[in-house]
Amino acid sequence: MLNVEMIEGADDAAIATWFAARLRSALAISTEIAVTAPGGSTPFPIFERLAAEDLPWPRIAVWPGDDRIVAEDHPASNVGKIRARLEPAGARIVPLTEDATPPHFAIAWLGMGGDGHIASLFPNTDPQVDDVLPVRRLTPDPLPPEAPFDRVSLTIPSLIDSDEIVFVIRGADKRAVFDAAIAGEHDLPVARLLRTTSAKVTCFC
């Protein structure tokens, strides 16, 4: 049964504090952990606050949930932006490649687009809940004008191989898409993930 907790009105500081607490809990039972992190503009102010938290960062590996196929120093690179914010704190940043073998994640942190895409699993890519590949190279259609690049993305099986899943969603339009996914009212990528996972899901909205 889908287990979703909706947390409304939390600001970046509150979300960072929540993440830090969840990371401490995971590190209390595991020597090392891995988490996924999203791209886009929403997470980076949270990363900056999270980096200031007193955490044993060298024990935390951070994987992008997806990335644009560009050089790390390109402005569109997710891993480059994640590295700039969390590597100075001591986190281990793992670039996402087509031949990567993702680990089990303590937390899969996801965003969601207004079209219901998660990571770079856009509706046109028809992501499957039983995908045999852990990572896929994909071409969104249409290509977002702010980032017109091919992508690599964790697949649904890789994303749900997590102890818990967290969404940070901004805006009423996206909230409506997410609520409809919970209610089973569409078959967009976010709905496919939600109906497949058995993990606890938290949505900051």
Q: How large a percentage of the chain has pLDDT more than 90?
A: 91
Q: Return the pLDDT at 42.
A: 86
Q: Provide the pLDDT confidence category of residue 2 given band limits of 50, 70 and 90.
A: confident
The domain that holds 103 is classified in CATH as: 3.40.50.1360
Whether the CB-CB separation of 36 and 108 falls below 8 Å is answered with: yes
CA 34 from centroid of its chain's CA atoms: 12
What residues make up the domain containing 141? 4-204
Could you tell me the pTM of the whole model?
0.94
The end-to-end CA distance of the chain, in Å, is: 21
Whether the CB-CB separation of 122 and 141 falls below 8 Å is answered with: yes
For the segment 107-141, what is each residue's pLDDT rounded down to a tens digit?
A: 999 999 999 999 999 999 999 999 999 999 999 88
Q: Provide the pLDDT confidence category of residue 53 given band limits of 50, 70 and 90.
A: very high
Q: Return the pLDDT at 194.
A: 97
**Would strands 135-138 and 151-154 be described as parallel, antiparallel, or unpaired?**
antiparallel
Average pLDDT for the chain: 95
Total number of domains in the chain: 1
Q: Return the pLDDT at 146.
A: 80
Q: Return the pLDDT at 205.
A: 92
Confidence check: pLDDT of 147 > 90? no
Other C-beta atoms closer than 10 Å to the C-beta of 37 total 27
Place of tokens 């996924």: 36
